[in-house]
Amino acid sequence: MSKKAFVALVTCFNDDETINYAATRAQVRRQVAAGNNIMCAGTNGDFSALTYDEKVRLTEEVVDEVGGEVDVIVNAGMPATFETLKLARTFDRIGVTGIAVITPFFIACTQDGLIRHFSTVADAVQTPVYLYDIPARTQNHIEPETARVLSAHGNIAGIKDSGGAKETLEAYLAVGKSVEGFEVYSGPDHLVLWSLQNGAAGCISGLGNAMPDVLSGILNAFNSGDIAEAERQQAIYTAFRTDLYALGFPPALVKRALYLTDPSVGASRQPALLPDREQDEKIAVILQRYGLMAA
């Protein structure tokens, strides 16, 4: 089975920070043209700064724009099971391919609490549910044994690992190898090829917003058996990641890099990154280095 690349799509904003749905649709078309699938309302999509109604409309717009050409996964995760359920049930009716559920944030959870949380959501919808682990942002981590327990649920289809540690990804991959149908998607951009070679179903990448063709190039080369080309494309992807992420918070930097090449995407709706001329100049140099912006 061919491996899949998903891009954790940015959400585009107008100058007044309302969502620019037309620009977001343009980003969807750009990714579809590159051959990438879509994850919306994720970390790179400013999900924590979106209202319930905005998430619903955003998902409707993305699904409509895709028109069935590629898969769409949407993140329904919130701190409370109640609101996560409300979102998941709505997404279930919209017709997405999968519903990702990020671990609850702000609230410290036990592993038993996480099992109950994810199982409750998976029980309530028909759409396959994907666990979403990103402990650096949520402070809650899905232990590999917890993933193994949850993998037995008939409607939990896999996990997205954004922890960044190869050891954790290896442990999730071991679960995937032992449980038929449980898919593992890697989040760290420097581990795309490694994860594919070690049994991942694919990747869900934020960096693909800025480098969609390189991301799809890794997947296409791997799927066709051209490992040398996959390694070449991964080397470019890893080097770009290293250079860009050295400047600060990765999702904000990806959005800013994209903004410098296409201002229609707008700024982030987060307080973490304010416009900074000196930083913009550094980002521009990096973009020029990789042929993403004219000198």
Q: Which residues are catalytic?
A: 132, 160
Half-sphere exposure of 185 (CA within 13 A, CB side): 28
Question: Which parts of the chain are beta strand (E)?
Answer: 4-8, 37-40, 72-75, 98-102, 129-133, 156-161, 183-186, 202-205
CA distance linking residue 278 with residue 272, whole number of Å: 16
Q: In terms of Cα–Cα distance, which of 119, 146, 152 is closest to 133?
A: 146
**Structure tokens given for 29:** 């078309």
Q: At 13, is the secondary structure helix, strand, or coil?
A: strand
Query: What are the C-alpha distances in Å from 257 to residues 3, 30, 80, 266, 282?
Result: 27, 16, 33, 11, 10
Crossing angle for the helix pair 21-34 and 52-66, to the nearest 10 degrees: 40
Number of other residues whose CB lies within 10 A of the CB of residue 51: 9
Residue 184 β-bridge partners: 159
Q: What is the DSSP letter of 45?
A: G
Place of tokens 């585009």: 12
Give residue 223's identity as a one-letter amino acid code: N
User: Tokens at residue 10, please?
Assistant: 């940015």
Chain position carrying tokens 């899905």 = 142
Q: Spell out the residues 6+ positions from residue 193 whose beta carbon is closer than 8 angstroms to its own.
A: 218, 222, 230, 231, 234
